[in-house]
Structure 1
């Protein structure tokens, strides 16, 4: 049990993930479950609780729950060729309503692939994605102002995973920056976390600072989302 205040991930957090990735065994995991909870799961829950309070104080409109916000360490292998049972990371989401089912979220990832945080409208459903593309087309100055504000804050939109061709209905858009944005399947910014820094409470301030710098993206998406008709 913890008092809910984040004090840092344990010193054996990354070594545990390396060992779990090596063994990929249910038996090994159950034998070492206490270590997982002490070094990774409980601190991640504390981080969600602490960030929820800090995000509330900062007016960011993001919250989470130490149980519901955390992703499982177990992989869903039902339809995967890779049948390894465990992830190589732990992660969690804070969102406007505290669930994982909405957009405009904060994401934290601690793992062997790297440690990072993100603020994102990640692969939004079709109606919202279309509305975002229409907003870029119709109000390009608003989109560019958001991008400029992010850049001023040291952030850039993620360009990975974009469509190779412009989606139907937007062929008339020719400005290079707008074309690139309209081809995007998501709108996200990322912050790299030094793995050496995950063991200290200073990680909280670092993540709050990042999310405040990413607020122009949250505000832009929320303004659009609020005008999408409900199905």
Structure 2
């Protein structure tokens, strides 16, 4: 479970996002990092029970978690550290071009998500073809009660083409999904849930509901 001290560290970091403060509080950071790593390890074991791709990947915590240091080279925001912990669970690891699950822990907000964000052009083309050819299956996945209960807003629509991609037209019943350039869904977790002993079970319930969707996307990408 996530410890209160972990969220307290992230809150303090948000107010003191500078290297001298971080260095002075490195021991507290290491404790928070260890706590999050323990949660990630639990989640890996839990996902392995319903996602064969994750089971076969034999993921370790280091394959899923991200460095707390920010890359500020091309950013106007020069804060040196992230003020959240995040973990990505995909069969190729966090840097792989495959669909997977994501957990975001922040002092004020936590969310779980999944899918594939802004896939490469070749993968995007494959996903669109798969949706077009197997739209009934795709619709059934998104309309499943287990999926809709946790992801009531469906897929995120922030990135989409204005016009139908080449080879498709507005009459296509799947066009609203074929227009998408990113294929993710997310769900906010109430802040009161983060510190509860059953937090990992709550996250795993959401990930399990998303597994058929993840499987559909990876099948498309892998051809």
* 8 Å CA contact 1:95, 1:105 repeated in 2: yes
TM-superposed CA distance for 1:149, in Å, is: 2.2
For the pair 1:17 / 2:10, whether they are aligned, the reply is yes
The corresponding residue for 2:23 is 30
For the pair 1:43 / 2:35, whether they are aligned, the reply is yes
Paired residues, what number?
A: 217
Q: CA offsets, 1:149-206, max 9 Å, x none?
A: 2676423222222223322232x2424x622211111212212222222223311111
TM-superposed CA distance for 1:12, in Å, is: 2.5
Structure 1 residues 152 and 109: CA distance shift in structure 2, 3 A: closer
For the pair 1:169 / 2:167, whether they are aligned, the reply is yes
For the pair 1:55 / 2:51, whether they are aligned, the reply is no
- In structure 1, the gaps of 5 or more residues are 1-7
Where 1:30 maps in the other structure, the secondary structure is helix
* 8 Å CA contact 2:51, 2:211 repeated in 1: no
How do 1:80-159 and structure 2 match up within 5 A? 80-112=75-107, 114-149=109-144, 153-154=148-149, 155=151, 156-159=154-157
TM-superposed CA distance for 1:105, in Å, is: 0.9
Distance 1:48 1:203 in 2: 12
Q: Which runs of 4+ in 1 moved over 3 A?
A: 150-153
Q: CA offsets, 1:83-102, max 9 Å, x none?
A: 11111211011111334223
Task: From the two aligned structures, give the one with the greater helix fraction.
Answer: 2
TM-superposed CA distance for 1:113, in Å, is: 5.9
| TM-score after normalising by structure 2 | 0.87
* 8 Å CA contact 2:100, 2:115 repeated in 1: yes
The corresponding residue for 2:196 is 200
| TM-score after normalising by structure 1 | 0.84
2:221 to 222, 225, 228: 225
Where 2:62 maps in the other structure, the secondary structure is coil
Q: Alpha carbon RMSD of aligned pairs, Å?
A: 2.1
* 8 Å CA contact 2:65, 2:87 repeated in 1: yes
* 8 Å CA contact 2:92, 2:98 repeated in 1: no
- In structure 2, the gaps of 5 or more residues are none
More relative contact order, 1 or 2 (CA 8 Å, 6+ apart): 2
* 8 Å CA contact 2:8, 2:107 repeated in 1: no
TM-superposed CA distance for 1:60, in Å, is: 4.8
Where 1:61 maps in the other structure, the secondary structure is helix
